[in-house]
């Protein structure tokens, strides 16, 4: 297949969502466009965000260990006393930030 | 601690396109193009006519990632943005038209407290099924944001990424669990690996497939949608398709010339792609499919061909119907169309539109070339083939096409004479006691007679009117003439017999005054009919009857003598609807009813060059919102005209101004002419869409630039401009440029023609190949390389171009030696010698050396069309910067600052040196003071002691800032910018008690810009403001940035600073930023060591957005704000109009 026909294959039937788009463009040489910028958008409406993106603070290793532990304890429920898991009197202070 | 007070504002917004996306954002059916230009998003709509601009959205941060995604089942896309300071946001567009709102549906900071920022930059990618977003922000970590629609929190987490040197990451299509594909590099080469993520385990769970040792420069992965699936890996010279089980690779010859920069997928099924390379080739990549008997589609072949040449692309996106947007960082962005047939030069690409881009601004100068008290900015813009000089001028230029010597013009009108004429063919030029008729025949202008018109009297008004008739108004009469037969049809005189003093008219109506008598006439076929007459309380000074819509005018505007007032009268009865007094005793000279896109104004110019303007209610005729500006110093004449269908007002005065409507505001833009007394629009066959302008002693026909505030002219160079300097005596610019030559069989050859190879005359420092004469002493010559260049190797060749200041023609090109990089240029006079010299500092760059060990300072003289080398001085290092210093020359050479004097033998001799720097990159001088900008040790102030001939270190900023530019603001204030995109101010305190305090610069202000400042220069783009401005600014400093923006800094007094700070504070409460990033956070100083609140700077961009607020919101902002109008300390409650006036005056400083 020649290069010409490959390019033709590529360029024929390019996607068209709205056949009208760019059809009224007047092709009288390229237009130079310096400052046709859109109007500035100055938002003054306070629309609360539905979601907040937060990053989990747990260390990757700790998270891994917890997961491993959960998996294990799930498998062998009897090996470790469940009361230990529910014990909230951890000697470590919880993180506040 | 002293605080300096500065106002900083963007004069020209960033233009480099760093990223672009296409999708359905504003509605399910709309196709939108969204561009990221540093700190701003631009939203466009694809329409049959082309791209329609919708909104420009300020983001409080430098945009690092811009992606569109769509939830499964949704019908439109959401926008995901991450800034360089890790603020992430998901944006949705709601509403349409003017009520369009950009809603932040999710936001948060995704930065971690610890972590080493990603060496290969921030990488972001979104799962094609929108299950997760993946971010690589830090080395060794991959951050996952699960896109759970129903949670109020999106809990992002890090997972460990053990692969080193990750080049690119994408999500694969069609995987049951989100699966990434990545390219990484280790000691044995580059490898591709797919990794599946378990959302439950929050970790990578398996490696579905991998391919080791792909091409050693592979840098980009393109995931392929179903049914093909898999990935395309783009290398330096080859393309690999791999789907885990089978692969296919090609090495097309067309790829060899450069590096692929970016791609765009053309169709949703993923068989066609567009790719762009660094030298601006647009390629097609086509995955040819084959359906196997078992029903599985496989890739049979990879086709790769060149389609044409485009701007050096940074990003590409396919829009619709074969139209593609090319986003560029190094040159102008483009809208192109792909044609199925190649044109004569074999290209399938046709250019539809270019979008001017100044980026990256490497250097600039401010020069008053027209000697009109207004600076023009000449920038070194773009790189490689996109390299150019850009001339940026505030205001509107008139391109002169014809000019006639003609003095004493008192009025000017264009007519279409003859029944059939569609173009203007006659200019009516009125003098004080006569009228001349100039017939326009082609480009010829000849004086003629016009039957039916009076020649021996001054004309007050003339026009074509309805029923193919023409009107001439003189003091004696209003005359109606048939346009084709040129026979006088009717003559009307005032019933009282008084001479007509003022007149105005339109297509079918005339209003004229004789002293205080006012008459309203309607034009009929062959006659006038007097509809109303009225005696005014004072004499009429000026009149207008321009219709505000189509059809007849419903109002007459009049300005009166004695009580100095502007009136709106009804038509036809001439009842007074509104009377507006204008404070003062200056007589109104010209009045105009003007409508801009349905916004109606009454403008009234006074005899002292000031202009009052009022908002006019087009139904009731009432006036509101009085404003006053000073345009010139002489009586002003207002004329309405349309240029390229933009409605505008031309204010003729000693400072001609064009008034137009932009971004919901009236904008005043000056015109590059000294003085215009009258003008009329002219649309003649040979001069279409033109203006006729009367000046003191000539009549000029010209066309007007596109109506806009800043006008930019491009001088393409085709190679990278690095530094620029202006020399007034020779009327030239000295420009340092770099081009890339390639080693081939015949030696080094330029890869393509560019400014330095096409100059009118050419010289070079020595024959190519010999670097420095062997006789020279010093360590340099020995260390220079002698190994020959490899075949095909790229070599940077540096040049000095001498460019004419008027024509921008390259008059001369001087090529430096091989391996010699020109680093800086300065134009100055030396010693007693009155000759201005171009002085260039260079460095010999050897690949193995960490810092150059040798360089030169070369002194050139350009005179009589010739460039001559006068002297040269070898130096032991790279000469990074030069500055003229009281007849001597200062140079920053590696870690030293040296002062050279010019001996009578025309040689440079070292006078004194300063050694306490890492690399002395920047130098600025004022009097005896020298400010040194260091690579990583901020700024140091030196003083030259002329008696001792030594430098003394006066003060130093001890913060470890990595500098990109410096400037001396005044004797005690110093401005610097760093590579973490901050600007800061240091002050010296000579009066401090202890030595320790004196030698330490005080941190006196800081602000985050989110952009790299490459150059700072004193200068202004506007003329010194006239008359009453409400803003007490001192000085003007301009800076140019990496993303192509131009900013302005000015000093303001403390009281005004406090006032603006209060206004800024109030605006932050009212303006709800997109992405919900706090303004204080956005502007806070930030680098890898510290974050500190912004101080000492007013954010002018935020202040100016006050003018874009609805009036109700303005009222909320102003409510309770105190101003001190007289500056006496007597504060009073501010009104909305007071603040509008102040902010409008602030917009006029740039």
Whether A36 contacts chain B with CB within 8 A: yes
Residues B735, B822: Cα–Cα separation, whole Å: 10
Whether A42 contacts chain B with CB within 8 A: yes
Q: What confidence tens digit (pLDDT) does each residue in B750-780 have? A: 989 999 999 989 999 874 443 433 333 333 4
Q: Strand, coil or helix: what is B453? A: coil
pLDDT band at A83 (very low <50, low <70, confident <90, very high): very low
Q: Specify the residue for token string 């009022």.
A: B614
Q: How far is A93 from chain B (nearest CA, A)?
A: 20
Residues 6+ apart with CB under 8 A from A70: none
pLDDT of residue B2: 61
Mean pLDDT computed over B711-740? 96
pLDDT of residue A92: 62
B145–A63 CB contact, under 8 Å? no
Per cent of chain A over pLDDT 90 is: 29
| Selection from B595, B588, B593, B594 nearest residue B611 by Cα | B588
Q: With b meaning 16 or more CB within 10 Å and e meaning fewer, what string describes B117-148?
A: ebebebbbbbbbbbbbbbbbbbeebbbbbbbe
Whether A41 contacts chain B with CB within 8 A: yes
User: Is the Cβ–Cβ distance between B516 and B535 less than 8 Å?
Assistant: yes
Roughly what angle, to the nearest 10 degrees, separates helices B1054-1070 and B1111-1118? 130
pLDDT at B517 over 90: yes
Residues 6+ apart with CB under 8 A from B516: B535, B536, B537, B538, B539, B540
Q: What is the ipTM of this complex?
A: 0.82
More confident residue, A66 or B461: B461
Q: C-alpha angle B609/B610/B611, rounded to 5°?
A: 125
pLDDT of residue B196: 97
Provide the 10 A C-beta neighbour count for residue B366: 18
Enumerate the β-bridge partners of residue B347: none
pLDDT of residue B778: 38
User: Is the Cβ–Cβ distance between B581 and B565 less than 8 Å?
Assistant: yes
pLDDT of residue B896: 97
User: Is the Cβ–Cβ distance between B735 and B798 less than 8 Å?
Assistant: no
User: Is the Cβ–Cβ distance between B854 and B780 less than 8 Å?
Assistant: yes
**Which residue from A11, A37, A54 is facing B348, i.e. has the nearest CB?**
A11
pLDDT at B513 over 50: yes
* Tokens encoding B1102: 């935020």
Largest CA distance in chain A: 82
Whether A16 contacts chain B with CB within 8 A: yes
Residues B722, B384: Cα–Cα separation, whole Å: 11
Residues B828, A1: Cα–Cα separation, whole Å: 64
Q: Alpha helix (H) ranges present in B541-614?
A: none
Q: Specify the residue for token string 């100059």.
A: B759
pLDDT of residue A86: 45
Roughly what angle, to the nearest 10 degrees, separates helices B1136-1147 and B1111-1118? 100
3-state SS of B116-137 is CECCCCCEEEECCCCCEEEEEC
pTM: predicted TM-score of the whole model, two decimal places: 0.87
Whether B573 contacts chain A with CB within 8 A: no
Search chain A and give the residue with CA nearest B141: A60
Residues B300, B171: Cα–Cα separation, whole Å: 23
pLDDT of residue B415: 95
pLDDT at B25 over 50: yes
Residues 6+ apart with CB under 8 A from B198: B177, B204, B205
Omega within 30 of 0 (cis) for the link into B227: yes
Q: What confidence tens digit (pLDDT) does each residue in B698-716 have? A: 999 998 877 667 888 899 9
Probe site for chain B from A2, A4, A14, A29 (most B CB atoms < 10 A): A14
Q: Specify the residue for token string 């009136």.
A: B567
Q: What confidence tens digit (pLDDT) does each residue in B108-163 have? A: 999 998 899 999 999 999 999 999 999 999 999 999 999 998 889 999 999 999 99
Q: Strand, coil or helix: what is B969? A: strand
Query: Cα separations (Å) of B625 from B50, B504, B1115?
Result: 37, 25, 14
Whether A82 contacts chain B with CB within 8 A: no
Q: Which value, in Å, is the radius of gyration of the alpha carbons in chain B? A: 34
Enumerate the β-bridge partners of residue B838: B827, B860
Strands B189-198 and B203-206: antiparallel
Q: Strand, coil or helix: what is A78? A: coil
Residues on chain A touching B340 (C-beta within 8 angstroms): 8, 11-12
Mean pLDDT computed over B907-919? 96
Q: What does DSSP assign to residue A30? A: P
Mean pLDDT computed over B1000-1026? 91
User: Is the Cβ–Cβ distance between A51 and B154 less than 8 Å?
Assistant: yes
Residues B738, B718: Cα–Cα separation, whole Å: 10
What are the backbone angles phi and psi of residue B457, rounded to the nearest 5°?
Answer: -145, 155
Mean pLDDT computed over B1057-1085? 97
Provide the 10 A C-beta neighbour count for residue B1076: 18
pLDDT of residue B317: 98
Whether A49 contacts chain B with CB within 8 A: yes
Q: What confidence tens digit (pLDDT) does each residue in B308-343 have? A: 999 999 999 999 999 999 999 999 999 999 999 999
pLDDT band at B791 (very low <50, low <70, confident <90, very high): confident
**Which residue from B48, B158, B1105 is facing A23, i.e. has the nearest CB?**
B48
Mean pLDDT computed over every residue of chain B: 92
Search chain B and give the residue with CA nearest A1: B303
pLDDT at B1127 over 80: no
pLDDT of residue B393: 87
Strands B1034-1041 and B1013-1018: antiparallel
User: Is the Cβ–Cβ distance between B611 and B631 less than 8 Å?
Assistant: yes
Chain B (746-785) residues lying within 8 Å, Cβ to Cβ, of chain A:
none
A38–B53 CB contact, under 8 Å? yes
pLDDT of residue A2: 64
Whether A68 contacts chain B with CB within 8 A: no
B49–A25 CB contact, under 8 Å? yes
Q: What confidence tens digit (pLDDT) does each residue in B64-107 have? A: 999 999 999 999 999 999 999 999 999 999 988 778 999 999 99
User: Is the Cβ–Cβ distance between B318 and B23 less than 8 Å?
Assistant: no
Mean pLDDT computed over B276-294? 93
Whether A61 contacts chain B with CB within 8 A: no
pLDDT of residue B782: 37
Mean pLDDT computed over B926-953? 96
Enumerate the β-bridge partners of residue B947: none
Residues B340, B506: Cα–Cα separation, whole Å: 51
Whether B152 contacts chain A with CB within 8 A: yes
* Tokens encoding B808: 């921008």
User: Is the Cβ–Cβ distance between B1004 and B986 less than 8 Å?
Assistant: yes
What are the backbone angles phi and psi of residue B807, rounded to the nearest 5°?
Answer: -95, -15
Q: How far is B749 from chain A (nearest CA, A)?
A: 30
Q: What confidence tens digit (pLDDT) does each residue in B945-1002 have? A: 999 999 999 999 999 999 999 999 999 999 999 999 999 999 998 888 888 888 999 9
pLDDT of residue B272: 96
pLDDT of residue B783: 40
């Amino acid at each position: 297949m020649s290069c010409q026909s490959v390019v033709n294959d590529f360029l024929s039937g390019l996607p068209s969502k709205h056949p009208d788009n760019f059809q009224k463009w007047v092709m009288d040489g390229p237009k130079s466009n310096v400052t046709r910028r859109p109007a500035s958008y100055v938002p003054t409406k306070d629309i609360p965000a539905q979601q907040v993106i937060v990053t989990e603070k747990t260390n990757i290793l700790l998270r891994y260990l917890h997961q491993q532990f959960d998996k294990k304890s799930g498998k062998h429920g009897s090996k470790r006393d469940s009361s230990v898991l529910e014990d909230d009197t951890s000697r470590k202070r919880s993180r506040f930030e | 601690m002293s605080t300096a007070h500065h106002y900083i504002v963007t004069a020209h917004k960033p233009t480099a396109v760093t990223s672009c996306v296409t999708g359905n954002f504003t509605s399910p059916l709309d196709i939108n193009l969204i561009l990221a230009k540093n700190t701003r998003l631009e939203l466009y709509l694809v329409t049959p006519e082309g791209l329609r601009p919708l909104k420009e959205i300020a983001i409080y941060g430098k945009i690092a990632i811009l992606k569109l995604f769509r939830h499964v089942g949704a019908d439109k896309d959401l926008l995901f943005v991450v800034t360089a300071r890790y603020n992430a946001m998901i944006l949705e567009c709601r509403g349409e038209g003017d009520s369009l709102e950009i809603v932040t549906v999710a936001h948060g900071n995704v930065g971690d407290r610890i972590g080493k920022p990603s060496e290969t930059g921030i990488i972001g990618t979104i799962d094609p099924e929108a299950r997760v977003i993946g971010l690589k922000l830090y080395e060794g970590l991959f951050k996952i944001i699960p896109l759970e629609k129903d949670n109020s929190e999106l809990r992002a987490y890090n997972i460990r990424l053990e692969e080193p040197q990750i080049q690119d990451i994408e999500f694969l299509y069609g995987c049951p669990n989100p699966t990434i594909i990545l390219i990484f590099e280790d000691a044995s080469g580059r490898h591709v690996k797919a990794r599946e993520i378990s959302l439950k385990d929050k970790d990578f769970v398996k490696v579905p497939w991998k391919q080791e040792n792909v091409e050693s420069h592979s840098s980009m992965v393109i995931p392929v949608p179903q049914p093909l699936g898999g990935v395309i890996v783009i290398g330096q010279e080859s393309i690999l398709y791999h789907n885990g089980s089978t692969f296919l690779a090609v090495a097309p010859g067309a790829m060899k010339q450069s590096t692929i920069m970016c791609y765009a997928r053309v169709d949703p099924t993923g068989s066609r792609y567009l790719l762009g390379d660094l030298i601006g080739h647009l390629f097609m990549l086509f995955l040819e499919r084959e359906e196997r008997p078992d029903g599985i589609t496989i890739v049979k072949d990879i086709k790769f061909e060149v389609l044409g040449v485009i701007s050096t692309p940074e990003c590409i996106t396919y829009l619709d119907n074969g139209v593609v947007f090319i986003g560029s960082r190094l040159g102008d962005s483009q809208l192109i169309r792909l044609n199925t047939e190649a044109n004569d030069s074999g290209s399938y690409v046709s250019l539809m539109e270019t979008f001017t881009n100044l980026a990256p601004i490497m250097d600039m100068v401010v020069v008053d070339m027209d000697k009109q008290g207004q600076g023009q900015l000449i920038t070194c813009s773009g790189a490689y083939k996109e390299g150019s000089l850009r001339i940026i001028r505030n205001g509107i230029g008139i391109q002169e096409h014809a000019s006639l010597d003609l003095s004493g013009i008192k009025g000017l009108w264009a007519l279409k004479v003859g029944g059939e004429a569609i173009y203007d063919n006659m200019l009516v030029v009125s003098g004080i006691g006569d009228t001349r008729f100039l017939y326009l025949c082609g480009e010829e202008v000849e004086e003629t007679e016009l039957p039916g018109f009076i020649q021996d009297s001054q004309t007050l008004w003339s026009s074509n009117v309805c029923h193919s008739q023409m009107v001439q108004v003189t003091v004696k009469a209003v005359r109606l003439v048939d346009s084709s037969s040129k026979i006088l049809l009717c003559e009307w005189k005032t019933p009282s017999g008084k001479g007509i003093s003022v007149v105005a008219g339109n297509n079918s109506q005339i209003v004229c005054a004789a002293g205080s008598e006012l008459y309203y006439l309607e034009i009929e076929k062959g006659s006038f009919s007097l509809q109303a007459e009225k005696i005014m309380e004072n004499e009429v000074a000026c009149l207008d009857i321009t219709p505000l819509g189509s059809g007849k005018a419903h109002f007459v505007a009049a300005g009166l003598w004695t009580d100095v007032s502007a009136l709106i009268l009804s038509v036809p009865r001439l009842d007074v609807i509104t009377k507006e007094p204008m404070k003062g005793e200056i007589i109104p000279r010209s009045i105009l009813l003007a409508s801009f896109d349905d916004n109606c104004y009454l403008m009234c110019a006074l005899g002292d060059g000031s202009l009052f303007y009022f908002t006019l209610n087009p139904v009731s005729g009432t006036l509101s919102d009085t404003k006053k500006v000073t345009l010139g110093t002489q009586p002003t004449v207002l004329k309405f005209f349309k240029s390229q269908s933009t409605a505008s007002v031309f204010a003729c005065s000693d400072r001609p101004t064009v008034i137009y409507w932009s971004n919901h505001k009236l904008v005043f833009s000056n015109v590059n002419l000294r003085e215009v007394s009258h003008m009329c629009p002219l649309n003649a066959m040979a001069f279409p869409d033109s203006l006729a302008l009367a000046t003191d002693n000539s009549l000029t026909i010209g066309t007007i630039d596109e109506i806009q505030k800043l006008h930019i002219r491009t001088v393409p160079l085709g190679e990278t401009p690095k530094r620029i300097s202006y020399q007034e005596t020779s009327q030239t610019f000295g420009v340092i440029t770099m081009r890339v030559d390639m080693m081939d069989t015949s030696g080094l050859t330029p890869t393509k023609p560019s400014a330095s190879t096409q100059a009118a005359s050419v010289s070079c420092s020595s024959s190519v190949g010999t670097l420095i004469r062997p006789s020279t002493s010093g360590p340099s010559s020995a260390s220079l390389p002698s190994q020959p260049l490899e075949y095909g190797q790229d070599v940077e060749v540096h040049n000095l171009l001498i460019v004419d200041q008027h024509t921008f023609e390259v008059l001369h090109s001087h090529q430096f030696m091989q391996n010699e990089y020109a680093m800086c240029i300065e134009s100055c006079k030396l010693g007693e010698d009155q000759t201005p010299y171009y002085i260039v500092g260079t460095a010999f760059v050897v690949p193995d050396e960490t810092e150059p060990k040798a360089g030169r300072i070369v002194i050139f003289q350009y005179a009589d069309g010739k460039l001559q080398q006068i002297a040269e001085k070898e130096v032991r290092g790279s000469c990074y910067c030069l500055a003229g210093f009281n007849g001597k020359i200062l140079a920053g050479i590696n870690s030293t600052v040296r002062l050279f004097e010019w001996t009578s033998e025309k040689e440079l001799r070292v006078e004194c040196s300063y050694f306490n720097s890492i690399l002395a990159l920047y130098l600025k001088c004022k009097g005896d003071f020298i400010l040194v900008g260091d690579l990583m040790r901020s700024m140091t102030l030196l003083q030259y002691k002329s008696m001792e001939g030594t430098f003394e270190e006066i003060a130093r900023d001890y913060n470890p800032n990595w500098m990109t530019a410096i400037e001396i603001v005044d004797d005690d204030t110093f401005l610097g910018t760093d590579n973490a995109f901050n600007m800061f101010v240091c002050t010296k305190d000579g009066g401090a008690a202890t030595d320790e305090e004196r030698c330490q610069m005080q941190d006196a202000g800081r602000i985050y810009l989110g952009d790299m400042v490459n150059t700072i220069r004193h200068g202004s783009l506007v003329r010194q403001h006239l008359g009453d401005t409400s803003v007490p600014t001192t000085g003007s400093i301009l800076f140019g940035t990496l993303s192509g923006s131009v900013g302005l800094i000015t000093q303001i007094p403390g009281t005004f600073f406090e006032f603006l700070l209060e206004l800024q504070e109030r605006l932050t409460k009212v303006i709800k930023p997109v992405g919900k990033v706090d303004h204080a956070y956005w502007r806070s100083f930030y680098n890898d060591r510290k974050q500190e609140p912004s101080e000492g700077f007013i954010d002018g961009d935020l202040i100016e957005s006050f003018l874009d607020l609805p009036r109700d919101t303005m009222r909320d902002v102003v409510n309770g704000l105190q101003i001190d109008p007289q500056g006496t300390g007597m504060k009073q409650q501010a009104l909305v109009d007071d603040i509008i006036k102040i902010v409008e005056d602030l917009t006029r400083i740039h």
